Chains A and B, each alone.
Chain A
Amino acid sequence: MAQAIDTVTFKRILIANRGEIAVRIVHACRALGIESVLVVSEADRTTLGAQMADKVVCIGPASSSESYLKISALMAVATGTQCQALHPGYGFLAESEDLALACEEEGIVFIGPTSSQILSMGNKLQARALAKLAKVPMLNGSEKVIDAHHALALAEKIGFPVMLKAAAGGGGKGMKIVRSAEQMPSLFSSASAESRSAFGDDTLYLEKYISNARHVEVQVLGDHHGQLIHLGERDCSLQRRHQKVVEESPAPALTQTVRDQIRTAALKLAKAIEYRNAGTVEFILDGDTSEFYFLEMNTRIQVEHPVSETVSGIDLVEEQIRIASGQALRFRQEDVIFRGHAIECRINAEVPSEGFRPSPGLITKWIPPTGPNIRLDTHCFVGYRVPIDYDSMLAKLIVYGVDRLDAIRRLKHALDYFEIEGIGTTLPFIKFAITHPSFISGEVNTVLVDKMIEEMALIDRKELV
């Protein structure tokens, strides 16, 4: 399985991101003996990534639209520092077909899929059409809806409740649950307004809404030679405002049959578009019937990739780089052995007791958890000032256990002695969530976090009395 390091032909890679994922990519570059050039905004000159990268180039002011989202600046640095490849990380321009295209035009390898693959999965209606062709199970839904009247007619055919979704969508924007005919007109107009302002496109469509839903996704890896494998599935049902909070692999409470079916379905879709590099096929699983349905495909590395790395032992970012350099996958499906259970939780600079308000500022104390089977992916340290300009994620804590309960026990232990001072964090909520009876029993769904938040607020109030 082992191959000589010198078979990776990149000498230098541009990292077009920030925060913990920039650090993560620097690690992968170092492991492969590749030089890293990190672009930073003015606010990020002193970050951990900037201290670790071989070269740092400032590309603009703090505002991401003037820095991390500026393709011309990225390309100027990539060509100017003679980088052969560019890793986009996640968020920012990771799923921008324009960036992939700019790289293709400049002869710089985009570490990810082709621009046309990004495009085909980026538009949700087009992705649905491709999934249908590939015979991947799909929620009963519609094509583009023209207006509220049209939406109502279609919703009655599908059956309430339904979900209004943005075709250009992502991150929960332009998404509304419609429970009755009366709600349709007002929710239709707010969904299309939201979609227009977030994506510049107000195309909406409808899907049947599943009330007891789990979010299950499958990690896939494809090379340039037609090989495609999966690295198992992750359950990411614990979400707040469509942002994942806790992720784990393998997904709990799935029968082996359903587990195999969902993995096969993901590979079918990836195969249909000859997908290459790392990608994730997301599904909604109905907790009552165990039926699953295609949701969308993310054409990039994901925040929660470490849980798949932990149970498979495969370094996903390193494999991304190897694949992009033209190497054939080093693993066949049967070489991938899954072991034990991994859980990741995201720690954000937010105050749970105050409606999760953002809490930027100077970190005055930072004692990270250590010990066997504990991994912390972060860009933070004592003296680091969390800027107001970007998302609030401070760290991802990943633990491994021989089974799910072992992993939960270890996670609790790690969280107990993780100390952060100077800013507010979501640590108290995460501790509450992973010790909640519903989580421990594996009875998770996408509305559980809201229930947990209510319960925690109730306990806080009682303690005050």
Chain B
Amino acid sequence: MSQSDIPLNDAEVQNIKKIISTFNDSSLNYLDLELGDLKIKIGKGSLPAQPTVMSPSAATPQASSLQTPALQAPIGSLSSRATVFDEAASLGPDEVHIKSPLVGRYYSQSEPGAKKYVELGTLVMADTTVALVEAMKMFNAVPSGVQGHVSKICVTDGELVEYGQILFHVKVK
């Protein structure tokens, strides 16, 4: 039950710091690194809010792994309490919404470094994939559903999006 099962030595802490700073200076949004029994997942954007350092899996005894919660410190604070989407709000003339068809993590590109599906001004057709939403390691392509130009991007990469959350505004012709 204690947090003492995160026995990182100073050298390891220094190495992790180095990885984080290199990551910060890079154009990557997300990094999932495994070095021996050390696993690091780092993301930019709102969620996860800060780097999450997983404890080395070998340090967690097998027997207790199911019995006790593996504490992953630190846990980011909760963002806004609840969201009720104001449908009409901020929609300009001839604008429509593209909403997330499921709850999950939003990605603007197929993989780090790849071209973004859409940017401001991109012309989309009804069947154009505009985003990926990931739930349980399954990536779901979000089709535009409308034809027009992307006029606003309402979400940031890596963010948890709700069912029905507005992802984009599209100016239809």
Q: Chain A: residues with CB nearer than 8 A to chain B?
A: 7, 9-12, 35, 37, 39, 42, 45, 50, 53-61, 67, 71-73, 75-77, 80-82, 84-85, 102, 104, 107, 109, 114, 224, 324-327
Contacts of A50 in B (CB 8 A): 82
Contacts of A82 in B (CB 8 A): 48, 52, 72, 75-76
Question: How many angstroms between the C-alpha atoms of A85 and B80 in the bound complex?
Answer: 20
Closest residue to B162 on the A side, CB-wise?
Answer: A58
Indicate if the CB atoms of A59 and B163 lie closer than 8 Å.
Answer: yes
Indicate if the CB atoms of B135 and A73 lie closer than 8 Å.
Answer: yes
Indicate if the CB atoms of B1 and A80 lie closer than 8 Å.
Answer: no
Question: How many angstroms between the C-alpha atoms of A267 and B160 in the bound complex?
Answer: 43
B136 contact from A53, A60, A72, A84, Cβ within 8 A: A72
Q: Is the interface of B mostly helix, strand, loop or mixed?
A: loop
Question: How many angstroms between the C-alpha atoms of A449 and B80 in the bound complex?
Answer: 47
| Interface bits B130-173 vs A (CB < 8 Å: 1, else 0) | 00001110100000000000000000000010111100000000
Closest residue to A60 on the B side, CB-wise?
Answer: B163
Interfacial residues of chain B within 64-119, with CB under 8 A of chain A in the complex: 64, 66-72, 75-76, 78-84, 102-105
Indicate if the CB atoms of A81 and B160 lie closer than 8 Å.
Answer: yes
Question: How many angstroms between the C-alpha atoms of A54 and B80 in the bound complex?
Answer: 9
Q: List 24 A-B contacts (CB under 8 A).
A: A9-B1, A37-B78, A55-B78, A55-B80, A56-B81, A56-B83, A57-B160, A58-B162, A59-B103, A59-B163, A60-B163, A72-B136, A73-B102, A73-B135, A75-B135, A76-B135, A76-B136, A77-B103, A80-B104, A81-B47, A82-B48, A224-B68, A326-B68, A327-B1
Question: How many angstroms between the C-alpha atoms of A45 and B69 in the bound complex?
Answer: 30
Contacts of A10 in B (CB 8 A): 69
Contacts of A325 in B (CB 8 A): 1, 68-69
Contacts of B1 in A (CB 8 A): 7, 9, 325-327
Contacts of A114 in B (CB 8 A): 66
Q: Which 6 A-B pairs have the closest CB atoms?
A: A80-B160, A76-B135, A326-B68, A56-B82, A72-B136, A224-B67
A73 contact from B70, B76, B163, Cβ within 8 A: B163
Q: Is the interface of A mostly helix, strand, loop or mixed?
A: mixed
Q: In the complex where A58-B103, A76-B136, A80-B104 touch, is A326 in contact with B67 (Cβ < 8 A)?
A: yes
Question: How many angstroms between the C-alpha atoms of A54 and B136 in the bound complex?
Answer: 23
* Minimum CB–CB distance for A72 against chain B, Å: 4
Question: How many angstroms between the C-alpha atoms of A81 and B48 in the bound complex?
Answer: 8
Question: How many angstroms between the C-alpha atoms of A408 and B62 in the bound complex?
Answer: 51
* Minimum CB–CB distance for B136 against chain A, Å: 4
Indicate if the CB atoms of A58 and B164 lie closer than 8 Å.
Answer: yes
Q: Known pairs A7-B1, A73-B163; list 14 more (Cβ under 8 Å).
A: A12-B78, A39-B103, A50-B82, A55-B82, A57-B162, A59-B162, A60-B163, A61-B163, A73-B135, A82-B48, A102-B136, A107-B72, A109-B69, A325-B69
Question: How many angstroms between the C-alpha atoms of A104 and B83 in the bound complex?
Answer: 29
Closest residue to B135 on the A side, CB-wise?
Answer: A76
Contacts of B68 in A (CB 8 A): 9, 224, 325-326
Question: How many angstroms between the C-alpha atoms of A10 and B81 in the bound complex?
Answer: 19
A85 contact from B48, B69, B81, B138, Cβ within 8 A: B69
Contacts of B102 in A (CB 8 A): 60, 72-73, 76
* Minimum CB–CB distance for B42 against chain A, Å: 14
Q: In the complex where A73-B103, A76-B104 touch, is A54 in contact with B81 (Cβ < 8 A)?
A: yes
* Minimum CB–CB distance for B1 against chain A, Å: 5
Closest residue to B47 on the A side, CB-wise?
Answer: A80
Indicate if the CB atoms of A67 and B163 lie closer than 8 Å.
Answer: yes
Indicate if the CB atoms of B66 and A73 lie closer than 8 Å.
Answer: no
Contacts of B78 in A (CB 8 A): 12, 35, 37, 54-55, 81
Contacts of B162 in A (CB 8 A): 57-59
